[in-house]
Amino acid sequence: LRVQPDRVVPTVCPYCGVGCRVDLYVKDARIYRVMAREEPPNHGALCVKGRFGLGFLHHPDRLKTPLIRRRKGAELEPVSWDEALDFAAARLARIADASGPDALFFVSSAKASNEENYLMQKLARAAVGTHNVDHCARLCHSSSTAALSRSLGSAAMSNTLEEIGLSDVILVTGSNTTETHPVVGAMIKKAARNGAFLIVADPRRIGLAEAAHLWLRLRPGSDAVLFGAMARYLVESGRFDRAFVERRTEGFDAWWESVRDYTLEFAEGVTGVPAARIREAAERYAGARAAAIYWAMGITQHSHGTDNAQALINLALIAGQLGKPGAGLNPLRGQNNVQGAGDMGALPNVYPGYQPAADRQVQKRWKALWHTPQPETPGRTMTEAFESIGAKDGVRGVYLMGEDPITSEPYQDHVRAALEKLDLLIVQDILKNETFPYADVVLPAASFAEKQGTFTNTDRRVQRIRPVFEPPGEARPDWWITAQLGRRLAARTGRGWTEGWNYAGPEAVWEEIRLALPRMFGGIDYARLEREPLRWPCPHERSPGVSVLFTDRFYTPSGKARLLPAVWRPPAERPGGDYPLVLSTGRVLYHWHGGTLSRRSDLERAYPKMKVEVHPADAERYGISDGEPVWVVSRRGRIQATAWVTDRTPEGVVFAPFHFAEQPANRLTLDAYDPTSKIPEYKFAAVRLEPA
């Protein structure tokens, strides 16, 4: 029987940063079909998450009523919006009065819209007076952001997904693309079938490794040596792009000093990849007309993640593979609006548009726009904020928007202990999550399908989302909640100008963003977005947006890219003794991050319980059988899972997805951080296996 939809609503998939465009078919206020739109970036394709993962919208765990806990130990009780917002504002203001604005911390959301991220950082900076705001990029691409910003002056993808078909060499590393960005994975496979030479550098036999012309199975954590050795070999053999290096880069000598010892033989010893294969990869990459690099968390989530990303940047600069179609440096963003959350300044060291928070001139500009004095020193990162809880001068109050630190932060037992010490925890979310029981205030939020706004996908494309139906119960859009709190806080803290929080809707917020950032977004308004998505930078209303960055200059003060030393350091915790194996965590095709969304949809039936990948030799050594329960034990705790005995994972390495709250992989991970980006080392922890 053919169902006649009441409405078909064009919008954007809420899962990953590819930002697939979809039509939602609605009947009786329920979505009964999701179809891909025949336009970029997905051109009619969708993965299982986009197609079958929207059941969470109607799940009984949706939050529908504001709740407050009047004192520690009391129950959460339902209240009106006015009472919840007054209560939250009073408690935030009380902490700021007693301990200063830096005793508060604001966690924005890569699942919320651009407008909502803008308001969250405005709340911290204008209404409270602190740069203590961050979002989940701290846990995923902060290493890429740190390295790209200092080297190139911009942390965004340099090229676009449409150019995948223009590359004659594609290097993918630290990205299980066919599972984590499936539509991009399919594009890369298609390009490889059509003649592009595909190089995959990854310890696991992932889907793209099967499709690769050259698979470099490097040891976990040895990335900086591999890419340093490739670049060094290109210079030593004269195969580098001398003209590009001389004309468009600076810092060659210091960089060369850092890779002087990284011969192909040295790299073979550290990475386990034969020297001849490293040489072939370097020659293929540098010899291409246009070679693109794609990477994700396998590069970034290390205690040396910034050096890993820097090594990739150095390789691209030495080979001159930037500033032209089909080439470039392309970090694949995880969440659907993680690019936008960074663009909107939900970071402790930059305002919207990546303007430095410590720069006095920048502070003056934002003071003029917001009519409010600005804090002078950059804020804490999210990882530093959680570490500080309970310490003198530490964070006492946290406002979470769409974030679940119990499942997403490393060393879960530490996070639980920290949350118990907080004086105030505000949880603003669409669903009950693992952090919910610790909340003092619960603010029920609208989902992507219940509000207006914009998301920015991984290749800088700003796209409209549209409401399909009303939010359940009393849930409200994040922009409305944050603006209501902003007005109340501005009045209470005396950080004046309560009128600055009176927005008629998200379009009014977007107009303020355009006014503040004309070179990025001046040409992008809601009317144009109604007709087509637009990529930033888009400085005026006739601009089509820019696809390829850095064609004539880099966004550094000198206009040149900086080659910077990228030195290999071993991981923070080495396997040995009682913990002889390496644990690496990540994602699977059917689930999404902490599982809050995907495990409340039909995807749960397809993949209901956690499986850990164990190499056959390790299975035999430790008495583990395929399909049987196994304990995975680290110095921080233990979890039980089902063993999947497979040579997908290399000998000595256990791979565990982190989607399962009842079997939390982050109980095992350690709180060692990259010194520059403060990203945790999710990809390397020492563990052992025990039959359960």
Write out the residues near ligand SF4 by the rule CB under 6 A: 13, 15-16, 18-20, 42, 46-47, 49-50, 181-183
Give least dist CB 205 to ligand SF4, A: 22
Peptide bond into 41 cis (omega under 30): yes
Least separation in angstroms between residue 110's CB and ligand SF4 is 13
In the bound state with ligand SF4, the residue whose beta carbon lies nearer, of 35 and 567, is: 35
DSSP-derived letter for residue 301 is S
Q: Which residue number, 114 or 412, has a Cβ lying nearer to ligand SF4?
A: 114
Report the residue number, 18 or 230, with the smaller CB distance to ligand SF4. 18
Nearest to ligand SF4 of 592, 660 (CB atom):
592
Q: Least distance from C-beta 12 to ligand SF4, angstroms? A: 8
∠570-210-630 over CA atoms, to 5°? 60
Give all strands of the β-sheet with 77-78 in edge-to-edge order.
Answer: 77-78, 67-68, 441-444, 424-429, 397-401, 104-107, 133-134
Pick between residue 249 and residue 598 the one whose CB is nearest to ligand SF4.
598
For 511-646, strand residue ranges (E) read 534-535, 561-562, 581-586, 611-614, 629-634, 637-645
Question: CA 447, CA 264: separation in Å to the nearest integer?
Answer: 51
Judged by beta carbon, residue 44 or residue 570, the one nearer ligand SF4 is 44
User: Which of 108, 457 has the CB closer to ligand SF4?
Assistant: 457
Q: Which residues contact 272 (CB under 8 A, 6 or more apart)?
A: 217, 218, 219, 222
Shortest Å, Cβ 605 to ligand SF4: 18
Tell me the one-letter amino acid at 616.
P
**Please, what is the minimum distance in Å from the beta carbon of residue 15 to ligand SF4?**
3
Least distance in angstroms from the C-beta of 162 to ligand SF4: 15
Q: Which residues contact 351 (CB under 8 A, 6 or more apart)?
A: 121, 125, 345, 357, 362, 366
Cβ 457 to ligand SF4 shortest distance, Å = 8
The dihedral formed by the CA atoms of 119, 123, 124 and 125, expressed in degrees to the nearest 10: 90
d(CA 573, CA 47): 36
Alpha-carbon span 311 to 296, nearest angstrom: 14
For 383-405, the DSSP string reads: HHHHHHTTSTT---EEEEES--H
Q: Which is nearer to ligand SF4, 49 or 615 (CB)?
A: 49
Burial of 71 per CB tally in 10 Å (0-12, 13-18, 19+): exposed
Closest residue by beta carbon to ligand SF4: 50
**Is 49 or 688 the residue whose CB approaches ligand SF4 more closely?**
49
Nearer to ligand SF4, 22 or 96 (CB): 22
Question: What's at 550, amino acid-wise?
Answer: F
Rg for the chain (alpha carbons), in Å?
24
- C-alpha to C-alpha distances, 371 to 115, 500, 509, nearest whole angstrom: 19, 8, 16
> Nearer Cβ to ligand SF4, position 291 or 332?
332
Contacts of 282 (CB under 8 A, 6+ apart): 229, 230, 231, 233, 234, 239
Cβ proximity to ligand SF4, 65 vs 180, nearer residue: 180
**Judging by DSSP bridges, how do beta strands 67-68 and 441-444 pair with one another?**
antiparallel
Residue in 233, 225, 236, 219 with CA at minimum distance from that of residue 267 = 225
Q: How far is the CB of 52 from ligand SF4 (least distance, A)?
A: 10
Quote the least distance from Cβ 186 to ligand SF4, whole Å: 9
Half-sphere exposure of 166 (CA within 13 A, CB side): 13
Instruction: Kindly tell me which of 42 and 456 has the beta carbon lying closer to ligand SF4.
Output: 42
Per DSSP, helices labelled H in 217-359 are: 223-236, 242-248, 252-259, 264-271, 275-287, 297-300, 305-318, 338-343
278 alpha-carbon distance from chain centroid: 29
Report how far residue 307's alpha carbon sits from residue 287's, in angstroms, rounded to the nearest whole number: 24
**Chain centre distance of CA 447:** 19
**Distance in Å, CB of 317 to ligand SF4, minimum:** 30
| Least distance from ligand SF4 to the Cβ atom of residue 46, Å | 4
| Spatial separation of the C-alpha atoms in residues 387 and 383, rounded to whole Å | 6
CB of 16 to ligand SF4, least distance (A): 3
Which CB sits closer to ligand SF4, 18 or 267? 18
Smallest distance from the beta carbon of 325 to ligand SF4, in angstroms?
Answer: 23
Nearer to ligand SF4, 46 or 291 (CB): 46
Minimum gap (Å) between residue 272 Cβ and ligand SF4: 31
How far is the C-alpha of 500 from the C-alpha of 502, rounded, in Å? Answer: 6
Q: How far is the CB of 458 from ligand SF4 (least distance, A)?
A: 9
Structure tokens at 606: 């397809």
